[in-house]
Amino acid sequence: MKRLTTLAALLCTAFILINPLSAAAHMPPPFVDGQPVPTLAPMIKRVSPSIVNISTRGHVTVQQSPFFNDPFFQQFFGMPNMPTRQQFQALGSGVIVDANKGYILTNNHVIENADQITVTLYDNRTFKAKVIGRDADTDLAVLQIKADNLTALPLGDSDRLQVGDFVVAIGNPFGLNHTVTAGIVSALGRSQVEDGKYSNFIQTDASINPGNSGGALVDLQGNLVGINTAILSRGGGNIGIGFAIPVNMAKAVMSQLIKYGKVERGVLGVLIQNLTPELAKALAIPQQQGAIVSQVMPGSAAEKAGIRADDVIVNVDGKPISGAADLSSTIGVLRLGSRVNLGIIRNGKPLTIVATIGKPTSESAGSAEHPELRGLSVSNLDASSPLYGQLKGVQVTGVDPNSQAYMAGLRPGDVITAVNREPVSNVEEFRKALGSTKGAVALRVRRGDQAFFLVIE
């Protein structure tokens, strides 16, 4: 079950229980005043074979209390410092996106830690699935099954969605296969919804509930416009605020996962923030939307391309940029080495700069300096983090699931603010602090509104 920063982010889609007798009593007649009543039934019938049920079995490592890492505590209570492994079962949904090759798009958290993945089709056939690739930062994964007579769902264009457009959510909430609910697009470009680093969600009031992460959000033509991922909820049920990953983002990630098995990201190398009306007025910038560059990192792709501090990035390859989170998400799905045309406002005048996405300067920051932190990568805290501007530290961008850091509880999106009580505000300070540390490492971590220590040894 996914969690939001402060509220529950639940596995997704729609759920309706209908009493057949009462439903029949309230069904509208086929015609009213001689006109046919609108129905979604033909479209639902056409797209339903593309939606699958995904069930998983696996094991997770559960770390004991941090107190158990204290030698005195272990000696006093006789408690060994050993993580335990627990078995789990989970349900989710997926969307067939390539009928010939058997590719299925779903959420990464649906198949996370799974040892066995079973896909059940609309006609109740079941198949074992292979993981083609997964990306934790966007919470997307691609599976493959070997099956005949599959039906793929056409991919739409999420950039053309507007607030108020009608959409339909299809999936398997609570294990109830192929449940359908309808609603509208409530908002676009929602960020800071999940723990993933890159987010630019579609918000919808189509009923979404636990158990259907990876399900489809489709338009009235039956085109896939989003992958249902999370809901905002205080009590665990649907309250009309659901979120889906835009299909255009999913397409960009999916193509890399299919071709390379992973997303090899690069960075632009800028620190950015939202261009607010107040900031635009103070700096005499006519543009009202975009991401303003506050700093250009030395040696970065941005510096090589000629981007300067105070530049306002307003579009990427012609796609308008609404703010810092939008720019981070757009660049974040591009592959290392990609060339992009950046629309910039500089000194009130528009210009276009061509940049080549470069390597992250913080790649695998902890692996060489300290053996216990192999598999951990961090970056300077940027606008993609909900904690940006609130504190100093380094952002965890990746953790190998087999590493000591992962078993200790460190996760992507966490912010490390101190190493063995030594505050760190950037990657250089983080590396320096690790270089003077031998043996166990105590990290002070912020996750949302929570602050805690993790000991890695």
DSSP track, 33-59? TTEEPP-SHHHHHHHGGGEEEEEEEEE
Q: How confident is the model at residue 11 (pLDDT cuts 50, 70, 90)?
A: very low
pLDDT tens-digit readout, 276-301 = 888 788 777 777 788 888 778 778 88
Instruction: Please tell me the distance from the alpha carbon of residue 327 to that of residue 316, in angstroms, as a whole number.
Output: 8
Query: Of 73-87, 323-337, 435-449, which range is least confident?
Result: 73-87
The four Cα atoms 392, 397, 398, 399 give a dihedral, to 10 degrees, of: 20
Q: 109 an active-site residue?
A: yes
Residue 124: φ, ψ to 5°: 75, 10
The predicted-structure confidence for 137-179, as pLDDT tens digits, reads as follows: 888 999 999 999 999 999 999 989 999 999 999 988 777 778 8
269: left (phi over 0), alpha (psi -120 to 50) or beta: left
pLDDT at 218: 94
Q: Could you tell me where the DSSP H helices lie in 306-409?
A: 324-332, 404-408
CATH superfamily of 371-456: PDZ domain (2.30.42.10)
Give me the pLDDT at residue 23, please: 39
Residue 456 has pLDDT above 90, yes or no: no
pLDDT at 196 over 80: no
Burial of 151 by CB count in 10 Å (0-12 exposed, 13-18 middle, 19+ buried)?
A: middle
Asked if 270-356 and 371-456 have one fold, the answer is yes
In the set 55, 213, 329, 385, the catalytic residue is 213
Per cent of the chain over pLDDT 90 is: 26
The domain segmentation of the chain, as residue ranges, is 1-14+42-258, 270-356, 371-456
What CATH number labels 270-356? 2.30.42.10
Percent of the chain with pLDDT over 70: 75
Catalytic status, residue 403: no
Rounded-to-integer distance, Cα 242 and Cα 9, Å: 9
Q: What is the mean pLDDT of residues 254-264?
A: 89
Which CATH code for domain 1-14+42-258?
Answer: 2.40.10.120
Catalytic annotation, pick one of 50, 109, 233, 414: 109
Please write the tens of the pLDDT for every residue from 358-400: 876 544 343 334 566 776 778 887 666 677 677 888 888 777 6
Closest Cα partner for 322 from 174, 414, 135, 188?
188
In angstroms, the CA 212 to CA 177 distance is: 9
294 counts as catalytic: no
Q: Higher-confidence residue: 440 or 128?
A: 128
Classify residue 94 as exposed, middle or buried by CB count within 10 Å of its CB (0-12, 13-18, 19+): buried
- Among 55, 93, 135, 139, the active-site one is 139
- Mean pLDDT, the chain, rounded, equals 79
